[in-house]
């Protein structure tokens, strides 16, 4: 049986964002957009959802004269991400393919 997965993470774009942030200290919006190939609007919505869930923090600032939005994974986000990966591995190791 497919384990109960975190609905916040079980979405293609949000999962991609979390995977990038899990491997980096922080990433800015432009980088996430380029890596995921998402539109600015869609990415903003998904980032808001992750922020509301407490999985990431968003900091708006400037680098030089350019505005910069930086996203960073929180401890709660790291824990949720680890649990999600563990659940997937458990499911697959039980011989399931879907």
Give the footprint of other proteins on this chain (CB under 8 A). Answer: 2, 10-16, 19-20, 22-28, 30-31, 34-38, 42, 45-46, 63, 84-85, 88-89, 91-92, 96-98
Smallest distance from other proteins to CB 2, Å: 7
Smallest distance from other proteins to CB 57, Å: 14
Helices 40-52, 29-36: inter-axial angle, 10-degree rounding:
110
Could you give the CA distance from residue 15 to residue 92 in angstroms, rounded to a whole number?
A: 18
Smallest distance from other proteins to CB 86, Å: 11
Q: What is the DSSP string of 40-73?
A: HHHHHHHHHHHHHTTSEEEEEEEETTEEEEEEEE
User: Based on CB atoms, which residue is closest to other proteins, 31 or 74?
Assistant: 31
């Amino acid at each position: 049986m497919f384990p109960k997965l975190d609905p916040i993470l079980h979405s293609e774009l949000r999962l991609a964002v979390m995977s990038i942030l899990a491997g980096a200290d922080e990433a800015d919006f432009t980088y996430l957009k380029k890596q995921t190939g998402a539109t600015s609007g869609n990415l903003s919505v998904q980032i808001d959802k992750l922020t509301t869930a407490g999985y990431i923090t968003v900091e708006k600032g400037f680098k030089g004269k350019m505005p910069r939005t930086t996203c960073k994974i929180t401890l709660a986000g790291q824990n949720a991400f680890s649990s999600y990966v563990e659940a997937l591995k458990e499911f697959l190791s039980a011989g399931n393919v879907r």
